[in-house]
Amino acid sequence: MKDRRNFLKLSLLGGAALVSPTACTSAEPNTEKESPSTKQTKTNSAIVISTWYHGQAANAAAWEILGKKGSALDAVEAGVRVTESDPKNQSVGLGGLPDREGKVTLDACIMNHKNDCGAVAFLQDIENPISVARKVMEETPHVMLVGKGAYQFAREKGFPKKNLLTSESEKAWKEWLKTSNYKPVINRENHDTIGLLALDEMGNLSGACTTSGMAYKLHGRVGDSPLIGAGLFVDNEVGAACATGVGEAVIRIAGSAIVVELMRHGRTPMEACKEAVDRILKKHDNIDDLQVGFIALNKEGEYGGFCIHEGFNYALKTKTQEEMVDAKFYRKAEK
Ligand code: SD4
């Protein structure tokens, strides 16, 4: 992830004019990076896509299952667990950057091809919130548990208690305390949720999304990632979508549900993601510090992504392909 550090200096490219509604709708997305390979053909073959570079390791774990004709649901859970358990990743699970009180609080959700879903939010001291979310989905009549209740449930289900604050993240937090300036930085480690979407050989879709949320957030803050319809949405008749970036902006437009609805109405995954980004642009006067990215996968195995600021990418894996794809973007970065 280091290679994303400090590489973004945003070009104003006309500044405010670009964020007017007219400019948004007429802005031509960058197209040279996503090749025609974004159109997989309908071959009943499995595919997995996931956000950011850490998606590569997650996809590999998901593929262990998908490649053996396993279910998309098992694949998405196994995939994001890898990221959650990676202490070097400071935006998800173990090692996540804490809130301003020094607490690592985690949000996650999972959804399958039957519209079953489960979520946990503001969960502490449990390494793999995605697996707790799956248990909420499968073993309770509810969709979401939060805070102490989620923790109690996890412990009852046998999840061990674990201190998730690594010394590196504690050090970063103590450094942050010197200024206590809450300012999400675009495309940096303080907001790099993993969202992972999979289509299995049976033609079923599932998705998972998990994060430690925005670094140094207010204690108790929950973003889009555990919210079904915001951070993640799956409709097996149509497709699946997930989001990364500033969760407040995603929640305001019910982002992932909107992307899926747009696909239902005929948009390609990339077009649907772009239109969702357009909606966000219309609701914000200033996007200088606002990054949001969506990725989407439809029933035919077509995929795409779109973000506000250049620099968001996602990992793709199929039987024959394994690559990072630079998402199309609204505003170009100054290199
Ligand atoms: C949140 N959406 O908590 C998450 C953070 C994130 O890339 O996705 N960062 O708002």
52 C-alpha to ligand 1 centroid (Å): 12
Q: Is the pLDDT reported for residue 333 higher than 90? A: no
Q: How is the chain split into domains, by residue range?
A: 47-328
Q: What is the pLDDT of residues 129-146, one digit of tens each?
A: 999 999 999 999 999 999
242 C-alpha to ligand 1 centroid (Å): 11
Known catalytic membership, residue 193: yes
Q: What is the pLDDT of residue 183?
A: 73
Q: What is the pLDDT of residue 335?
A: 66
229 C-alpha to ligand 1 centroid (Å): 14
Using 50, 70 and 90 to split pLDDT, how confident is the model at 21? Answer: very low
Q: Average pLDDT, stretch 237-244? A: 98
Q: Is the pLDDT reported for residue 20 higher than 80? A: no
Q: Which of 91, 105, 211, 308 to mutate to test the pocket of ligand 1 (most atoms within 8 A of CB)?
A: 211
Total Cβ atoms within 10 A of residue 227? 25
Q: What is the pLDDT of residue 14?
A: 27
Q: What is the pLDDT of residues 211-239, one digit of tens each?
A: 999 999 999 999 999 999 999 999 999 99
As a whole number, the mean pLDDT across the chain is 88
Q: What is the pLDDT of residue 334?
A: 74
Q: What is the pLDDT of residues 142-185, one digit of tens each?
A: 999 999 999 999 999 999 999 999 999 999 999 999 998 887 66
Is 311's C-beta closer than 6 angstroms to any atom of ligand 1?
no
Q: Is the pLDDT reported for residue 202 higher than 60? A: yes
Q: What is the pLDDT of residue 259?
A: 98
57 C-alpha to ligand 1 centroid (Å): 19
Residue 16 contacts residue 287 (beta carbons within 8 Å): no
Using 50, 70 and 90 to split pLDDT, how confident is the model at 125? Answer: very high
Q: Which of 191, 196, 294 to mutate to test the pocket of ligand 1 (most atoms within 8 A of CB)?
A: 191
Q: What is the pLDDT of residue 181?
A: 84
Q: What is the pLDDT of residues 84-114, one digit of tens each?
A: 999 999 999 999 999 999 999 999 999 999 9
42 C-alpha to ligand 1 centroid (Å): 32
Q: What is the pLDDT of residue 66?
A: 98
Q: What is the pLDDT of residue 19?
A: 33
Is 213's C-beta closer than 6 angstroms to any atom of ligand 1?
yes
What atom of ligand 1 comes closest to residue 192's alpha carbon? 7
Q: What is the pLDDT of residues 27-65, one digit of tens each?
A: 445 544 454 445 554 556 999 999 999 999 999 999 999
Using 50, 70 and 90 to split pLDDT, how confident is the model at 192? Answer: confident
What atom of ligand 1 comes closest to residue 52's alpha carbon? 7
Is 192's C-beta closer than 6 angstroms to any atom of ligand 1?
yes
What atom of ligand 1 comes closest to residue 250's alpha carbon? 2
Task: Name the class of domain 47-328.
Answer: alpha beta
Q: What is the pLDDT of residue 110?
A: 98
Is 214's C-beta closer than 6 angstroms to any atom of ligand 1?
yes
Q: What is the pLDDT of residue 188?
A: 52
pTM of the shown model: 0.89
Q: What is the pLDDT of residues 72-85, one digit of tens each?
A: 999 999 999 999 99
Q: What is the pLDDT of residues 255-307, one digit of tens each?
A: 999 999 999 999 999 999 999 999 999 999 999 989 999 999 999 999 999 99
The single residue of 83, 105, 166, 193 carrying the catalytic annotation is: 193
What atom of ligand 1 comes closest to residue 247's alpha carbon? 10
Protein residue whose Cα sits closest to atom 3 of ligand 1: 213
